[in-house]
Amino acid sequence: MPRWRMLGVWMGLLLGLGGLAMAKQSDSACVQCHTDVTPGVVHQFHEGRMGTNAYLPLDCSTCHGSAHTTAEDFAKATFPTPDTCMGCHADKVEQFRAGKHELAWYAMKTQSALHAQPSAIVGEGYRGCSGCHKIGRKGYIGAEAGNTGPLKWDGGEEASQYRYGNAQCDACHTRHSFKKTEAQDPRACSNCHMGFDHPQWEMYMSSKHGITWDIDGNRGWDQGGRAPTCQTCHMPGGNHNVETAWGFLALRLPTKENVEKLAASVDDAGLKANLQKLAKLLPSGHYIDLDDDVQWTLDRALILQVNEILDQNFQPTERFFEIVAQARAARGPEEFNRLRLQMKATCQQCHSKEYVDDFFLNADKIVKLADHEFAKAIQAVQGLYRDGILKKPEGWKWAPSVAQYYENLTPIELDLYLIYMEYRQRTFQGAFHISNDYMHWYGWAPLKEHVNRILAEAERMRAEQKK
Ligand code: HEC
Ligand code: HEC
Ligand code: HEC
Ligand code: HEC
Ligand code: HEC
Ligand code: HEC
Ligand code: HEC
Ligand code: HEC
| Tally: H helices and E strands in the chain | 24, 2
Q: How close is the Cα of 130 to the center of ligand 3, in Å?
A: 26
Give the binding-site residues of ligand 7, using a 6 Å CB cut-off. Answer: 107-108, 111, 113-114, 128-129, 132-133, 192-193, 195, 198, 247-249, 327-329
CA dist 197 and 206 (Å) reads 16
Predicted pLDDT of residue 26: 62
**pLDDT at position 4 over 60:** no
- For residue 133, say if its preceding peptide bond is cis, omega within 30 degrees of 0: no
Which residues fall within 8 angstroms of residue 8, CB to CB, at 6 or more apart?
Answer: none
pLDDT tens digits along 308-330: 999 999 999 989 999 999 999 99
Give the global pTM: 0.96
Q: Is 429 in the pocket of ligand 5 (CB under 6 A)?
A: yes
Predicted pLDDT of residue 27: 82
**pLDDT at position 255 over 90:** yes
Ligand 2 atom with the smallest distance to the CA of 46 is 38
**pLDDT at position 10 over 60:** no
- For residue 2, say if its preceding peptide bond is cis, omega within 30 degrees of 0: no
Q: Please spell the DSSP secondary structure of 241-309, one letter per residue.
A: ----SSTTTT-PPPPHHHHHHHHHH---HHHHHHHHHHHHHSPP---SSS---HHHHHHHHHHHHHTTS
Predicted pLDDT of residue 385: 98
Average of per-residue pLDDT values in the chain: 93
Residues of the chain with CATH 1.20.850: 256-466
What is the pLDDT confidence band of residue 57, given thresholds at 50, 70 and 90?
confident
Q: Is 20 in the pocket of ligand 3 (CB under 6 A)?
A: no
**pLDDT at position 150 over 70:** yes
Give the binding-site residues of ligand 1, using a 6 Å CB cut-off. Answer: 29-30, 33-34, 37, 60-61, 64, 66, 68-71, 74, 77
Ligand 1 atom with the smallest distance to the CA of 29 is 5
Predicted pLDDT of residue 55: 78
Q: Is 112 in the pocket of ligand 5 (CB under 6 A)?
A: no
Give the binding-site residues of ligand 8, using a 6 Å CB cut-off. Answer: 208-209, 212, 221, 226-228, 232-233, 343, 346-347, 349-351, 356, 359, 434
Angle at which helices 445-466 and 411-418 pack, to 10 degrees? 160
Q: How close is the Cα of 242 to the center of ligand 6, in Å?
A: 7
CATH of domain 256-466: 1.20.850
DSSP state of 223: G
**pLDDT at position 11 over 60:** no
CA dist 383 and 13 (Å) reads 67
Give the binding-site residues of ligand 6, using a 6 Å CB cut-off. Answer: 100-101, 103-104, 107, 132-133, 135, 171-172, 188-189, 191-193, 230-231, 234-235, 242-244, 247-248, 327
Predicted pLDDT of residue 291: 97
By CB neighbour count within 10 A (0-12 exposed, 13-18 middle, 19+ buried), where does 186 fall? buried
Pocket test for ligand 7, best of 111, 144, 198 (most atoms within 8 A of CB): 198
**pLDDT at position 411 over 80:** yes
Are 251 and 307 spatial neighbours (Cβ–Cβ below 8 Å)?
A: yes
CA dist 262 and 266 (Å) reads 7
What is the pLDDT confidence band of residue 15, given thresholds at 50, 70 and 90?
very low
What is the pLDDT confidence band of residue 354, given thresholds at 50, 70 and 90?
very high
Q: How close is the Cα of 175 to the center of ligand 2, in Å?
A: 7
Predicted pLDDT of residue 42: 96
Q: How many residues does the chain have?
A: 467
Instruction: Report the chain's C-alpha Rg in angstroms.
Output: 25
Question: What is the C-alpha end-to-end distance of the chain, expressed in Å?
Answer: 74
Mean pLDDT on 135-140: 98
Q: Is the dihedral of CA 81, 83, 85, 90 positive or negative?
A: positive
Predicted pLDDT of residue 56: 78
What is the pLDDT confidence band of residue 35, given thresholds at 50, 70 and 90?
very high
pLDDT tens digits along 425-459: 999 999 999 999 999 999 999 999 999 999 999 99
